[in-house]
Amino acid sequence: MINIIKGAQRELDDAFEYYESQLPGLGNDFFEEFEKATQRIIQFPDAWHPFSPNTRRCQFNRFPYGILYYVEKTTITILAVAHMHRDPNYWQGRSRKLIK
């Protein structure tokens, strides 16, 4: 099961809107990259680069974004859909209490 916290969903939506405003259809391409990265995480949750003691990061192939997530039992929680050229630690204040 995938759980995406509100802040990460907002980042996904904002990036989609930005790319779509740059070129019609590019937002859809961005979302497809998100879906592909999510599927890679589901298939191999421990395969991606550890970003902190409890989180990992799976990068997109085409866009400069990565999914920051952690795994707890059977749930993968997405904490951030982060642009890789911005402050890499901005999301760390997101508490597990924000999940749901």
Q: Flag whether 73 is in a domain.
A: yes
How many domains are there within the chain? Answer: 1
Q: Which of 70, 89, 82, 53 minimizes the C-alpha distance to 3?
A: 70
Q: What is the pLDDT of residue 97?
A: 42
- The whole-number pLDDT of residue 13 equals 98
100 residues of the chain, pLDDT tens digit each? 999 999 999 999 999 999 999 999 999 999 999 999 999 999 999 998 888 888 899 999 999 999 999 999 899 999 999 998 887 666 666 655 433 3
Domain contains 10: yes
Q: In what order do the strands lie in the sheet with 75-83?
A: 2-4, 75-83, 65-72, 55-59, 49-52
Q: Answer yes or no: is 93 within a domain.
A: no
DSSP-derived secondary structure letter, 18: H
This prediction has a pTM of: 0.86
Whether residue 94 lies inside any domain: the answer is: no
99 found inside a domain:
no
Q: Cα dist. 20→2, 11, 34, 93 in Å? A: 25, 14, 14, 29
- What pLDDT score does 95 carry? 55
Q: Give the pLDDT of residue 23.
A: 98
76 in a domain, yes or no? yes
Question: Which pLDDT value is given to residue 49?
Answer: 81
Range of the domain at 49: 2-86
Domain-located, residue 46: yes
Q: Determine, yes or no, domain membership for 8.
A: yes
Query: What pLDDT does 87 receive?
Result: 74
Q: What pLDDT, on the 0 to 100 scale, is given for residue 98?
A: 39
CATH number at residue 23: 3.30.2310.20
